[in-house]
Structure 1
Amino acid sequence: MNQTFTKTTTKVLFGIFFYLLIPWQAFAQTTTTGTVLDEGKKPVPGVTVMEKGTKNGTTTNSEGKFSLRLSKPNAIVEVKMLGFASKEQSAEGKTTLNFTLQEDNQTLSEVVMVGYQTISRKKSTAAISSISAKELANLPTSSFDQLLQGRLAGVNVQNFTGSPGAAPTVSVRGNTQISRGYDALNVVNSPLYIVDGVIVE
């Protein structure tokens, strides 16, 4: 009888210990809420809210509010929006994080050439990547194409032959490309280079 009582008591204690662990597991993941405003104290919808260093994120609603479950209590929360300077805060010891974004005039004033018109970058809905001449200065390379490798989102530069001086293959936004012309035998899928308004082959 004593053995039966001991076994029953052990099971009860084990069950209590198991359920006591649940709040601690829930504590490891905390939820933070907040609001993102502009300098005029107006809500900013569509802002990307990310737990820094992870792929965990969300966006603000029409009222500029967000709710994000964090993987750790001391996580860094970062907010980004085109036309505004990004900001970040530590969530340690906080359940509410509020942000006030300042306009980034540099990105707003950039002009984009889209082939048939000139529009400001903030009005463009196309995927655009840019790189400055300063970033490419004094870099050792055998061709201009190779300078772009790993420096522009969506641009992939590969040399399939490995031979010195061989022209690399450049693909933009994946391997499927829009043909822009024909040579003697094949469809031409290489990018169109324009320097100072002149097409360069």
Structure 2
Amino acid sequence: MSPRPGTAEPLLGPDDEARLRDAVTDAVLSAPRGLREAIEQDPEASLALVSASRVAAEETSRLLSEAVANARAAGHSWDAIGRLIGVSRQAAQQRFGPAGPPATTGPERRVGGDGPERRVLTPLTLFDEMVVLEPEARRGWHMVDFGPLYLVVEASDHAWQHRRAVWSPAAARALAEQGWQLVGGWSFPWGYYKRRLDLPAEP
């Protein structure tokens, strides 16, 4: 699926769009157990359908916001994103534009407050954030928060490892069994993970 610069054509073809819409509809009708069977006979099932549809709408809205953040981190313009969702560049930026990284002070962008020292690594993209994070992790900085174009890291006495993987509950469970800790939930489509090493932080 390659972008089509300068056009308003969607990246999904009609068949893909139809499959996706069918999958969402099926999920809504399947999530409350027995809803599909009860909808014709039980008046309460109609309210359950409203509730399930609300949850689906909230979740798809969240996924869209995080997908836009991911596209921005991959270097795509607001104009390209706006064309895909059918709004102007300005409307896309107003709706989905990030609040920005946490407030910082000083030339090394140190985050104030009590507890271990924290720093904001920015600007970063989807393609360089893990490369930038790797040497910081060897020096004892581990990831504690993230957002569009930035990561927040915290100082420690140990070296760390980090990884990013396409999110799925199965992948999260498998990584947890290997000692990986999910950082701050997940951000569609990614899960960020860290693991402390039995090595002192490098100077």
Shared fold per TM-score greater than 0.5: no
Between Structure 1 and Structure 2, which shows a larger proportion of helix residues?
Answer: 2
Between Structure 1 and Structure 2, which shows a larger proportion of strand residues?
Answer: 1
| TM-score (norm: length of structure 2) | 0.23
Structure whose alpha-carbon radius of gyration is higher: 1
